[in-house]
Amino acid sequence: MTLGQFPGQKHIWGIAGTEIEATVGDSDAQAFYVNAAHAAANDANYGTDPDDPLDTLQELIDRSTGVSAIASPALRAGDSIYINGNIAESVIVTEDVPANCRLIGARPGIDAPVWTAATAAGTALTLWQSGWTVGGFRFTAGAAGRAIKLEWVPASGYVANRTAIVGNYFDGAWGGLYGIELSGAPFDVRIIGNEFREYRRGDASAFAIITTDASEANAYMCVVENNIFWENENHVGSLGNDRGFNLSLFKGNVFHEGVLIAATRMLDLRGGTRGKNIVTQNTFCGDYSNTGGYYANAANPGNWVGNIAEDVAEAEVGDNGWTVAPPAA
């Protein structure tokens, strides 16, 4: 990853090995730096120089909403924020913060900046605005915490659509509640190249990815691609099995049944009212059936062909391990 330059200059940003590996920012885009561990870190700084970073991400959000006493420089649409150091904040990107910004951990891979919520049961990052990219972090949950929550509730002004969550580690640390929560039906969300591990509450309530409030609709036209799910109580599902994804793509993911933490629900897509999801090129470990935690939408099961499953005893799996139909009872 190459860090951004100073405001007014083009800068290269991205996450190695992902579809956003090398993208050129707009010529007038700003780059901000947050690093609480830096000796010069101070929320009175401009934050546009990596040698004089901001102390908190919240200060930059507050500047953008008029809460801070410091009016500028503030975020504009298309800006990038680089976090080079661990962060322990619960941040809400409200609907009046500019859209289409990039929030990037400045060290890629396993050594990515660790982001925990301010409290054990808190949410590290809540998005109510559209078009944000979040990548390059190691989210570590508290005892009952969430890493990222996306909300789409138009009546409240929440429109977390077109979010890209790319190249992160989601570490439940044997206690986290949710890795990513989609509430209210965010659409065009991209969840790509992440690792989800050790979300466990002991009562089967923990999920790597979960859809919750569906009062508006169900999450739709989302892409969940090239992620690793292992050692979670549940990988992908919904509360009450009555919410889910519609018209979405699940491709190239690995769903492991777990060793120390056995997964109850592997990929549960029962809740989407319209269904017709495309599920292909995934690796399905364990029992490829409803009993094993794999569910398609009953009314519109969608396309579940071209996955690799080890359970060749099922009629829905060919002798060569390729899935030929949605999972059944």
Among 54, 85, 116, give the residue marking a domain's end: 85
Predicted pLDDT of residue 27: 56
The yes-or-no verdict on residue 13 having pLDDT over 60 is no
Q: Specify if 215 maps to a domain.
A: yes
Predicted pLDDT of residue 26: 52
Q: Taking the mean position of all CA atoms in its chain, how far away is CA 271?
A: 20
Answer yes or no: do 63 and 118 share one domain.
no
Predicted pLDDT of residue 4: 36
The yes-or-no verdict on residue 11 having pLDDT over 90 is no
Answer yes or no: do 116 and 244 share one domain.
yes
109 phi and psi angles, rounded to 5 deg: 85, -155
pLDDT tens digits along 43-95? 999 999 999 999 999 999 999 999 999 998 999 999 999 999 999 999 999 99
Q: Specify if 327 maps to a domain.
A: no
Predicted pLDDT of residue 188: 96
Answer yes or no: do 176 and 69 share one domain.
no
pLDDT tens digits along 286-306? 999 999 999 999 888 999 999
The yes-or-no verdict on residue 153 having pLDDT over 60 is yes
- Two tokens, residue 58: 């919240």
Q: How high is the mean pLDDT of the chain?
A: 90
Q: Which residues are CB-neighbours of 69 under 8 A, at least 6 positions away? A: none
Answer yes or no: do 248 and 302 share one domain.
yes
Reported as a pLDDT band with limits 50, 70 and 90, residue 34 is very high
Reported as a pLDDT band with limits 50, 70 and 90, residue 23 is very low
Q: Specify if 98 maps to a domain.
A: no
Residue 96 vs residues 47, 79, 156, 185, 188: alpha-carbon distances, Å: 20, 15, 12, 20, 20
Q: What is the torsional sign of CA 17, 18, 24, 26?
A: negative
Total number of domains constituting the chain? 2
Answer yes or no: do 38 and 146 share one domain.
no
pLDDT top residue among 255 and 109: 255
Q: Specify if 46 maps to a domain.
A: yes
The yes-or-no verdict on residue 12 having pLDDT over 70 is no
Answer yes or no: do 167 and 245 share one domain.
yes
Q: Which residues are CB-neighbours of 183 under 8 A, at least 6 positions away? A: 149, 150, 151, 152, 153, 211, 212, 213
Reported as a pLDDT band with limits 50, 70 and 90, residue 141 is confident
Predicted pLDDT of residue 9: 35
Answer yes or no: do 244 and 117 share one domain.
yes
Reported as a pLDDT band with limits 50, 70 and 90, residue 18 is low
Reported as a pLDDT band with limits 50, 70 and 90, residue 14 is low
Q: What is the torsional sign of CA 133, 234, 126, 242?
A: positive
Q: Specify if 138 maps to a domain.
A: yes
pLDDT top residue among 322 and 239: 322
Reported as a pLDDT band with limits 50, 70 and 90, residue 106 is confident
3-state helix, strand, coil in the chain (%, to 5): 5, 35, 60
Q: Which residues are CB-neighbours of 223 under 8 A, at least 6 positions away? A: 189, 190, 191, 192, 248, 249, 251
Task: Kindly give the residue spans of alpha helices, DSSP state H, lying in 203-321.
Answer: none
The arithmetic mean of pLDDT across residues 89-105, rounded, is: 97
Answer yes or no: do 214 and 281 share one domain.
yes
The yes-or-no verdict on residue 1 having pLDDT over 60 is no
Domain carrying residue 26: 1-85
Tell me the residue type at 31. Answer: A
Answer yes or no: do 147 and 247 share one domain.
yes
Q: Specify if 95 maps to a domain.
A: no
pLDDT top residue among 150 and 219: 150
**Alpha-carbon gap, residue 182 to 170, rounded angstroms:** 15
Q: Which residues are CB-neighbours of 168 under 8 A, at least 6 positions away? A: 105, 112, 134, 135, 136, 137, 138, 139, 194, 195
Predicted pLDDT of residue 163: 98
Q: Specify if 94 maps to a domain.
A: no
Predicted pLDDT of residue 17: 52
Reported as a pLDDT band with limits 50, 70 and 90, residue 322 is very high
- Whether the upstream peptide bond of residue 53 has omega within 30° of 0, thus cis, is no
**Alpha-carbon gap, residue 180 to 199, rounded angstroms:** 11
- Two tokens, residue 269: 């897509």
pLDDT tens digits along 187-231? 999 999 999 999 999 999 999 999 998 777 788 899 999 999 999
Answer yes or no: do 68 and 195 share one domain.
no
Q: Specify if 180 maps to a domain.
A: yes
**Alpha-carbon gap, residue 279 to 252, rounded angstroms:** 9
Answer yes or no: do 162 and 238 share one domain.
yes
Answer yes or no: do 139 and 264 share one domain.
yes
Sheet holding 114-116, edge to edge: 87-88, 114-116, 138-140, 169-171, 195-197, 228-230, 254-255, 283-284, 308-309
Reported as a pLDDT band with limits 50, 70 and 90, residue 22 is very low
Q: In CATH, what number is assigned to the domain containing residue 302?
A: 2.160.20.10
